[in-house]
Amino acid sequence: MQDCIFCKIIHREIPAEIIYETDNVLVFKDIRPAAPVHLLLIPKKHIPTFFELGPEDVMLMGELQTAAAEVARRLGLSNGFRLVSNIGRDAGQLVFHIHYHLLAGRELKWPPG
C-alpha cells in the first residue's frame, strides 16, 4: 500500500530501529513507547485488519506469534510481556496494517489505570 507507514518501513523508505526480521515478519521499536520495552511486530504482507485475514494467512500469523516469543527470549523478558492488537477505529487502531504491540519492562496492571 502506497501510503501505509508500516509498508514504507518494510521497504526502508522510512527509518525504524529494527530489532528482528525474517522473510515475513519485521519487529521494530515504537517511536512513542508506552512501556520501557515497546515493540511493533508486523507481517511484511499488507493486511489492514484481522477482518481481512484468510486461511492463507494462518502460517503468517503463527510466525508473527512465534516472533513475539523469540524476541521476548532474546530480550530476557522472563517476567512476562503483554501482546496487544487494536482492531478497527473503535479499538484505537491508527495504522491499518495488522500489528501487535509488545509491551514489557515494568509491571503492567490490568485493568490499566
**Which has the closest alpha carbon to 94: 49, 41, 60, 33?**
49
Other CB atoms within 10 A of residue 69 CB: 12
Beta strands across the sheet bearing 37-43 = 18-21, 25-29, 37-43, 100-104, 82-84
Residue 37 near residue 71 (C-beta atoms within 8 A) = no
Active site amino acids: 99
